[in-house]
């Protein structure tokens, strides 16, 4: 298993700005990098959330180190408001999420997130519920499959990929990551100019669909608005354009700015923005340093956006 690097950790801490006595939500606990760094940076409390049951050994480690300062809630960060209330808090001082699959999950071949190592075609972050990637590729109609791959993977040759998948499954059920990757590569031959594997975008699309990642992000952002105190910080690290467009549109709209155009997943910002409930901490997305990219390739496509909650009296 590769070493775990919390992406843009210094930038996350700088924008979250933990203080003694504060309460902070780590909505995507994973290997616990953000949670531990927040707890080390201030005498505060962290409420960590994750739907992946395999994180429990790491949860137990942090409980032993930090005691009552570390609280873990099993679930989705899109239900953060309920999780925070169940943990005994009404409002919090900060909320951070690192969107998408973790390096820890990618490294587990039996989870089916990556084609780098052959494994069952699963991709569920919570392996106890929901349809798998195998369910999707073996049962969806060709048009629906093509639309899914185009929408979530931004794969321009999605119809070619879907056609090849349907042809293959008519002969044999697709059950492994290696089998699916080979089918996709057969539909989209790799050009010498290509920097990424032809299967990458289709795998991304399936993972997003299986876990409803964009819907989860939208729900999580709404929760942040509800649970953050006045001057509470929201920090979001995303890894591809679909995620970043949702975060950007949300933060711009909620800060009273007009983006001029909408996300494909969020309505266009109106000409008369609503009363601001957030203040942008940076107008542009923050990207990782060259040094971090050299040390951790996963951070290459990361973007961080941050905003401060602004509550009017009586809200």
Candidates 314, 292, 310; CA nearest to 302 is: 292
Superfamily of domain 114-211: Putative methyltransferase TM0872, insert domain (1.10.150.170)
pTM beyond 0.75, yes or no: yes
User: Do 200 and 232 form a contact (C-beta atoms < 8 A)?
Assistant: no
238 sits in which H/E element = strand 228-238
Candidates 270, 306, 152; CA nearest to 261 is: 270
What residues does each domain of the chain span?
9-104+213-309, 114-211
Superfamily of domain 9-104+213-309: Vaccinia Virus protein VP39 (3.40.50.150)
Candidates 175, 173, 150, 171; CA nearest to 161 is: 150
Q: Which two tokens stand for residue 308?
A: 């401060």
- Ordered per-residue pLDDT tens for the chain, 315 residues: 334 678 999 999 999 999 999 999 999 998 899 999 999 999 999 999 998 888 999 999 999 999 999 999 999 999 999 999 999 999 999 999 998 665 555 555 556 567 778 889 988 888 777 899 999 999 999 999 999 999 999 999 999 999 999 999 999 999 999 999 999 999 998 777 777 889 989 999 999 999 999 999 999 999 999 999 999 999 999 998 899 999 999 999 999 876 544 444 444 444 445 689 999 999 899 999 999 989 888 888 899 999 999 987 556
């Amino acid at each position: 298993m590769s070493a775990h690097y919390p992406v843009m950790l210094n930038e996350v801490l700088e924008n979250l700005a933990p203080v003694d006595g504060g309460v902070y939500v780590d909505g995507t606990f994973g290997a616990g990098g953000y949670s531990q760094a927040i707890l080390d940076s201030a005498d505060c409390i962290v409420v960590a959330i994750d739907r992946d049951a395999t994180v429990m050994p790491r949860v137990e480690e942090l409980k032993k180190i930090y005691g009552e300062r570390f609280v873990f809630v099993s679930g989705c960060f899109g239900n953060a408001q309920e999780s925070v209330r169940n943990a005994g808090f009404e409002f919090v001082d900060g909320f951070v999420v690192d969107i998408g699959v973790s390096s820890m999950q990618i490294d587990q071949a039996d989870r089916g997130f990556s084609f780098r190592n052959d494994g069952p075609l699963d991709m569920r972050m919570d392996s106890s519920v929901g349809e798998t990637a195998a369910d999707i590729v073996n049962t969806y109609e060709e048009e629906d499959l093509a639309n899914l791959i185009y929408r979530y993977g931004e794969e321009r040759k999605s119809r070619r990929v879907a056609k090849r998948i349907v042809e293959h499954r008519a002969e044999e059920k697709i059950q492994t990551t290696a089998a699916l990757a080979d089918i996709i590569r057969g539909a989209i031959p790799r050009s010498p100019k290509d920097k990424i594997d032809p299967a990458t975008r289709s795998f991304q699309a399936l993972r997003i669909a299986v876990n409803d990642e964009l819907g989860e992000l939208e729900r999580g952002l709404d929760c942040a608005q509800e649970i953050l105190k006045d001057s509470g910080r929201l920090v979001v690290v995303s890894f591809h354009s679909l995620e970043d467009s949702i975060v950007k549109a949300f933060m711009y709209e909620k800060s009273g700015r007009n983006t001029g155009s909408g996300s494909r997943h969020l309505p266009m910002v109106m000409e008369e923005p609503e009363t601001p409930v957030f203040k942008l901490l940076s107008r542009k997305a923050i990207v990782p340093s060259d040094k971090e990219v050299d040390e951790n390739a996963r951070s290459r496509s990361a973007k961080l956006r941050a905003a401060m909650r602004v509550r009017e009296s009586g809200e």
